[in-house]
Amino acid sequence: MRHTRPSILITGGLIAVLAASPLAPAQEPFRQVLISVSRDTDPNLIFRSNTASRDAVPECPVAWSVRKVRLTGGKQEGVDIVRVDNGKMQITLIPTRGMGIQMVTLEGKRILGWDSPIREVVHPSFINLLSRGGQGWLEGFNEWLCRCGMEWNGSPGIDRFVNSAGEETTMDLTLHGRIANLPAQEVLLIAERKPPYRITIRGRVDERILYGAKLELTTELSTVPGSREFAVRDAVTNRGGQRQEFEMLYHTNFGPPLLEEGSKLLAPVETVTPLSGDSARDVERYDQFLGPTPGFAAQVYGIKPLADASGRTLVLLRNKAGDLGASMRYATRELPFLTVWKNTVGREDGYVVGIEPGTNFPNNRRVERKHGRVPSLPPGASHFMTIEYAVHSGAEAVEGAAGQVARIQGDRRPLINEKPEKSE
Amino acid sequence: MRHTRPSILITGGLIAVLAASPLAPAQEPFRQVLISVSRDTDPNLIFRSNTASRDAVPECPVAWSVRKVRLTGGKQEGVDIVRVDNGKMQITLIPTRGMGIQMVTLEGKRILGWDSPIREVVHPSFINLLSRGGQGWLEGFNEWLCRCGMEWNGSPGIDRFVNSAGEETTMDLTLHGRIANLPAQEVLLIAERKPPYRITIRGRVDERILYGAKLELTTELSTVPGSREFAVRDAVTNRGGQRQEFEMLYHTNFGPPLLEEGSKLLAPVETVTPLSGDSARDVERYDQFLGPTPGFAAQVYGIKPLADASGRTLVLLRNKAGDLGASMRYATRELPFLTVWKNTVGREDGYVVGIEPGTNFPNNRRVERKHGRVPSLPPGASHFMTIEYAVHSGAEAVEGAAGQVARIQGDRRPLINEKPEKSE
Amino acid sequence: MRHTRPSILITGGLIAVLAASPLAPAQEPFRQVLISVSRDTDPNLIFRSNTASRDAVPECPVAWSVRKVRLTGGKQEGVDIVRVDNGKMQITLIPTRGMGIQMVTLEGKRILGWDSPIREVVHPSFINLLSRGGQGWLEGFNEWLCRCGMEWNGSPGIDRFVNSAGEETTMDLTLHGRIANLPAQEVLLIAERKPPYRITIRGRVDERILYGAKLELTTELSTVPGSREFAVRDAVTNRGGQRQEFEMLYHTNFGPPLLEEGSKLLAPVETVTPLSGDSARDVERYDQFLGPTPGFAAQVYGIKPLADASGRTLVLLRNKAGDLGASMRYATRELPFLTVWKNTVGREDGYVVGIEPGTNFPNNRRVERKHGRVPSLPPGASHFMTIEYAVHSGAEAVEGAAGQVARIQGDRRPLINEKPEKSE
């Protein structure tokens, strides 16, 4: 199998070059189709498949495995998950829910994830995005990393805009768009046969309609065996013949052990703004988190992060003791806005904090357009977004990451707005 | 496998005691997981499984069987049904539709059930509860026993209420809530190894959302091999951290042979009230049923039943000849309101009568709250409801049941209200 | 297996007579159940089955095959398709989408079909007909032949009407109704054992609701091995006990190679009327098609076709060179209205023209009722519709078909209305 779009992704292009070389046949990566809309899928692999490094890439010194399982029972019936075990971390992807990441465990212990009141991995056919006044999305939401988009994300409600035919039109948008409830068309495992023996899961998710958006997500999750790091490299491509708006938000959700009373967000900040009236009074504490607080009303803050000389920012969540952290590094040009969602309610109600890089803030698209935060793509063009994730274990590692955040901030003082921006 | 919640259900508690006894290891009940969200489900059992007493409990003198089948074709594709044959009666449960009961046959002949125009057991993924002005529920409704709830039941329309964050809010409720279109997370067969060799199907159905209700139904259907009786023992539990309203209605629907011109409802009645203007003129005949009447406009009556000294009522539907009957016995404290839904339309249109014990009448929750009929549960608390069903064959058996109803009524005269209560 | 409704379909009746003859046991057609709601379906045949003439009807001189496949991946997961290869043409039916026809290839090359931006065969459980203001249907639309109906078709929006209980009511209709997103209950292959060895796929699709329509589609697609022709014979039957309205539109969609700049519609026309204001200015060119035109705003025209002495019309789409054509022949009594939908947008956006025989024009049912174009059926009655399709290869064949169209037109002059009819 060859690359269909070698120009989109940097690693893809690199592999394509290697694969095309007649001198390196043994180094062509191992590939296995996990899910495909092709009619030649082996029916024996529909319910489960398992790939182990000892068979696929015996030369890799760290044993890894990739397992696809179709879940059964309740609302998860028919959901496919892909579990990547890099020998150190276990990353569970959900192709059936837009290639989200359910959770990440480190040597079997959950490190990235949260305890949503929704306990199954819900199949999109059980979700009605229109229910509860456009908030049906909440009935399936329990991922660590849940994409919001691609045509829109943010609050439900009426958007008024000019469509591609030049007509003024309205659309009743649902919370956070459709991508988390769209299944992947293609999922492919690619494993390099030479150091660093990188494992990649590549997926494609279509969000297409006649008389509307034709957006395509190409996503790669990759990790090096034995590491505590992984990266997500996404491209959103406009496959239609007209210019098309899009919005992407990486709704990344942390519960214990990273979230606890006294956990803190460390981020290089240009400005912080409360995104709702209720959030305004606590804006000075936007970066501090409470323990489980039954009845807590959610607060949301919008951050413009600062970047280093290479254009990248680093955002760190660390626990109270300062000996456990998780960080995201990404280019602010690709994802200029960062949202902090504090939902530190009681444990039974979903104690969680979201740290959410995006192309925009999660207001209704109508509001975001007014503020100039809705990007668009000409026909055939792509927007690329890469986020590098790392888990930091031990005080030294956490301090190292915190120091990098501080260096990006330098002597620039964050501007903290006490009032929300006008929403209309 | 041990009981997860021995405190909830009386039989569960009893069995747990026995099971814990070191003197009675051979008497620990037989158990088999039929459906589970556990990832260790045997894929060979996804499509069908069969348990027979000769293998499971050979000491039982009456042969019974429990069969799980995944249906195929049309809108029933993917629906799991569980058919319990107690040697005399056959009870068909629908885990995929909230553990409802499709029908009950006596020696192969349908005795409890009706001929809905919807002929398949419809998978929830084909139902859009919002369609037809919030009446999409009607596209899947054909069970003998269909639960309505748990967050709400009754007529569709806007409810205004104060949410757990203390804010005034509105929600557009759909007809009869979600439980009948939610699949069970766990289904377990438990068969006792000693007299009376009771067979139990235990199920769990979650109705959970972030920022809303976290309700859990635990249900047990049990029957003694060879009997004409069975019981449903339900618990609705609030798994959230805030007080939560709930509503439950057991929409129990009778067609032929029990329903025919001249069939009659026998119930000990404190009050009867028409629930709609159209029903008012026939309120005196609330307990009498017509034959199939094309074009009949449905009538609905609300009853407050009387109870005996033990707090339980008995409700009986008997055929015209008085030689066939079906009864329900339950505590009015658990289910204080009884609704009679007369839909004696033509056979092709769904000739049926519903006899529906509930925590409330099936008005919109907004109306029921105004009348003080919407119960609520503090965090972690459960509401228990047990209904015992029996089929009475022959005039003597029917008269015996009718006599019990009369004894509960005693010399108390039913109050028949000629006008509906004010709905707003 | 016997015919369940031999009276409905002419070929069905004929076969039943043969099958009942004791003199012709060997000529009883070959039959195979492909999909059924019966509980005795062989689970081995759920995922794929294949029938070849060499096994089923070895006496047939032209090799044919019928293959059922369950698709996997993305939004097509769980969709069943049936591919009929008559030895010359390959016709792909979609039981899971109301027995629509995805496409037709001639010796492997697509001749009937189009390149919708929706590239999978979308499972109905991924479609929410209510989304995008009632236009969710557009998220699954990519068939060559997509039925619109049965309870209604046409534009979304509120319909006001008197229901079967005599009450004035309203209903918010969704675009083009439900039939294309309803799975077939029964699909049967019937293959004749004597000349012309006709192959038939018979299906049944229910569209039933309590308190509403109980409509049933019985459809037969049949073709003679080795031919370039096939026929669709449909019956819509009212299975309810009350008179019931219905609407049927055969949304037949052509892309390349038949559609190109200079392609033309040849139809015998009584009147042509623009169905929207935007379409009015180009009404004189209602029968001419553009090449792909990015940003083109769709135009729709309503035709009353003329019929020949037998009551049938012939409608032909031919390419620019006049050496390739596709025609439909049908009775105007059965399908009196013909809609032309020009959506000659850019290729990426779904370059297509729809030629759509119907019982009505695709306005909202409210509008169609006002114009007397909504038929109804008494209880138990059926409306029959037969369309014969042919592919014409080569200038001579195309000219032959064009000549037939011209003969039906004769010297009758089409009336071209310059303005749309009043819609309200």
Per-residue pLDDT for A12 more than 50?
Answer: no
Residue A43: pLDDT over 90:
no
Beta strands in A308-412 (DSSP E): 312-318, 324-331, 337-343, 352-358, 376-377, 382-393
Give me chain A's average pLDDT, please. Answer: 92
* CB-based burial label for C165 (10 Å; 0-12, 13-18, 19+): middle
Point out the residues of chain B with pLDDT beneath 50. Answer: 1-24
Residues forming beta bridges with residue B146, ordered by sequence position = B251
CA distance B125 to B174: 16
pLDDT at A164: 66
**pLDDT at res. B168:** 86
Interface of C with B (CB under 8 A): 35-39, 41, 43, 46, 78, 124-125, 128-130, 164-165, 170-172, 174, 182-186, 205-206, 208-212, 214, 239-242, 379
From chain B, pick out residues whose CB is under 8 angstroms from the CB of C172: 133
Number of Cβ within 10 Å of residue C64's Cβ equals: 23
Residue from C164, C210, C237, C238 whose CB has the most chain B CBs within 10 Å, to mutate: C210
**B348 and B366 Cβ atoms separated by less than 8 Å:** no
Residue A341 bridge partners (DSSP):
A300, A354
Amino acid (1-letter code) at residue B423: S
Tell me the chain A residues in contact with residue C76 when contact means C-beta distances shorter than 8 Å. 37
* Per-residue pLDDT, C26: 60
- Chain B residues in contact with C240 by the CB 8 A cut-off are 117, 348-349
Cβ neighbors of B2 (< 8 A, separation 6 or more) are B16, B19
Fold of A26-416: Beta-galactosidase; Chain A, domain 5 (2.70.98)
Let me know if A126 is exposed, middle or buried by CB neighbors in 10 A (0-12, 13-18, 19+): buried
CA distance A249 to chain C (A): 21
Yes or no, beta carbons of C125 and B128 under 8 Å apart = no
Both tokens of C250, joined, read 């055969």
The answer to whether B322 and B395 are in contact (CB under 8 A) is yes
At residue A312's C-alpha, the angle toward residues A306 and A315, to 5°, is: 65
- Inter-chain residue contact C74 with A184, CB threshold 8 Å: yes
Question: What is the residue whose two structure tokens read 């509960």?
Answer: B408
Q: Is the per-residue pLDDT at A86 higher than 70? A: yes
Residue that the structure tokens 């021995």 belong to: B6
- Residues of chain C with C-beta less than 8 angstroms from the C-beta of A157: none
User: Is the dihedral angle over the CA atoms C407, C411, C415, C416 positive or is it negative?
Assistant: positive
Query: Residue A183, Cβ neighbours under 10 Å: how many?
Result: 30
d(CA C341, CA A7): 37
Three-state SS sequence of chain B? CCCCCCCCCHHHHHHHHHHHCCCCHHHCCEEEEEECCCCCCCHHHCCEEEEEHHHHCCCCCCCCEEEEEECCCHHHCCCEEEEEECCCEEEEEEHHHCCEEEEEEECCEEEECCCCCCCCCCCHHHCCCCHHHHCHHHHCCCCCEEEEEECCCCCCEEEEEECCCCCEEEEEECCCECHHHCCCCEEEEEECCCCCCCEEEEEEEEEECCCCCEEEEEEEEEECCCCCEEEEEEEEEECCCCCEECEEEEEEEECCCCCCCCCEEECCEEEEEECCHHHHCCHHHCCECCCCCCCCCCEEEEEEECCCCCCEEEEEEECCCCCEEEEEEEECCCCCEEEEEEECCCHHHCCEEEEEEECCCCCCHHHHHHCCCCCEECCCCEEEEEEEEEEEECHHHHHHHHHHHHHHHCCCCCEECCCCCCCC
The partner residue sitting opposite C184, judged by closest CB among B74, B117, B119, is: B74
Find chains touching chain B: ≥3 CB pairs under 8 Å: A, C
pLDDT of residue C167: 79
- Mutation pick from A211, A239, A244 vs chain C, by most beta carbons of C within 10 Å, is A211
Q: Which residue of A has its CA nearest to C292?
A: A241
Domain ranges of chain C: 1-248+377-393, 255-358+394-424
Q: What is the pLDDT of residues C330-353, one digit of tens each?
A: 999 999 999 999 999 999 999 999
Task: Give residue-wise pLDDT tens across range A244-255.
Answer: 999 999 999 999
Q: Is the pLDDT of residue A167 over 70?
A: yes
ipTM of the complex in this document: 0.92
Tell me: the pLDDT tens digits for A272-314? 999 988 899 999 999 999 999 999 999 999 999 999 999 999 9
Which residues of A157-292 form beta strands (DSSP E)?
Answer: 157-162, 168-173, 186-191, 199-208, 214-223, 229-238, 244-245, 247-254, 264-266, 269-274
Token pair, residue A185, equals 């068309």
* Regions in chain C scoring below 50 on pLDDT: 1-24
What pTM was computed for the model? 0.93
Per-residue confidence (pLDDT) for residue A2, from 0 to 100 = 32
Q: Which residues are within 8 A (CB) of A16 and not within 5 positions of it... i.e. 6 or more apart? A: A2, A3, A6
Residue A346 tokens, joined: 């009681």
Chain B residues at the C interface, defined by Cβ less than 8 Å, are: 47-48, 69, 71-78, 116-120, 123, 125-126, 128, 130-133, 135, 138-139, 141, 294-295, 297, 345-350
Q: Do A117 and B239 touch (CB under 8 A)?
A: yes
Least CB–CB distance from B165: residue in A77, A131, A297: A297
Q: Hey, what are C216's tokens?
A: 């049933």
Q: pLDDT category, A73, cuts 50, 70, 90?
A: very high
The token duo for B57 is: 């409990």
**Measured between CB atoms, which of B71, B125, B130 is closest to C130?**
B130
* Chain B residues touching A117 at Cβ < 8 A: 208-210, 214, 239-240
Compute the distance between CA of residue A285 and CA of residue A262 in angstroms, rounded to an integer.
11
* pLDDT score recorded for residue C254: 98
Residue-wise pLDDT tens digits, A362-413: 999 999 999 999 999 999 999 999 999 999 999 999 999 999 999 999 999 9
CB C274 within 8 A of CB C284: no
Q: For residue B384, what are the contacts with CB-CB under 8 A and spacing of at least 6?
A: B8, B9, B233, B234, B235, B334
Nearest CA among B422, B418, B424 for reference residue B272: B418
Task: Write down the pLDDT at residue B45.
Answer: 79
Q: What is the pLDDT of residue B41?
A: 67
Match domain B10-416 to its CATH number in 3.40.50.11060, 3.40.50.2000, 2.70.98.10, 2.30.110.10. 2.70.98.10
Q: With 60 as the cut, is the pLDDT of residue A87 above it?
A: yes
**Beta-carbon-side half-sphere exposure of residue B163 (alpha carbons within 13 Å):** 14
Closest in A48, A76, A130 to B130, CB measured = A130
Verify cis geometry, omega within 30 degrees of 0, for the bond prior to A150: yes
Distance to chain A for B115, nearest Cα, Å = 27
Contacts of residue A371, defined as CB under 8 A and 6 or more positions apart, other chains included, come to: A421
| Number of Cβ pairs < 8 A linking chain B and chain C | 103
Q: Least CA distance to A48: which residue of chain B?
A: B43
Of A74, A132, A138, the CB nearest to B184: A74
Q: What is the reported pLDDT for C166?
A: 74
Neighbours of chain C (3+ CB pairs under 8 A): A, B
Residue A226 near residue A88, CB atoms below 8 Å: yes
Q: Rounded distance, CA C122 to CA B125, Å?
A: 14
- Look at chain C and count its residues: 424
DSSP type of residue C263: -
Is C297 exposed, middle or buried, given 0-12, 13-18 or 19+ CB atoms closer than 10 A? middle
Confidence of residue A39 (pLDDT cuts 50, 70, 90): confident
Is B211 in Cβ contact with A138 (below 8 Å)?
A: yes
Q: Give residue for tokens 């039982």.
A: B60
The residue of chain B nearest to residue A47, with distances taken between CA atoms, is B43
Q: Write out pLDDT tens, residues B289-325.
A: 999 999 999 999 999 999 999 999 999 999 999 999 9
Residues in chain A closer than 8 A to B242 (CB atoms): 294-295, 346, 349
A-B C-beta contacts closer than 8 Å: 103
- For domain C1-248+377-393, give the CATH number: 2.70.98.10
Of C43, C172, C214, the CB nearest to B117: C214
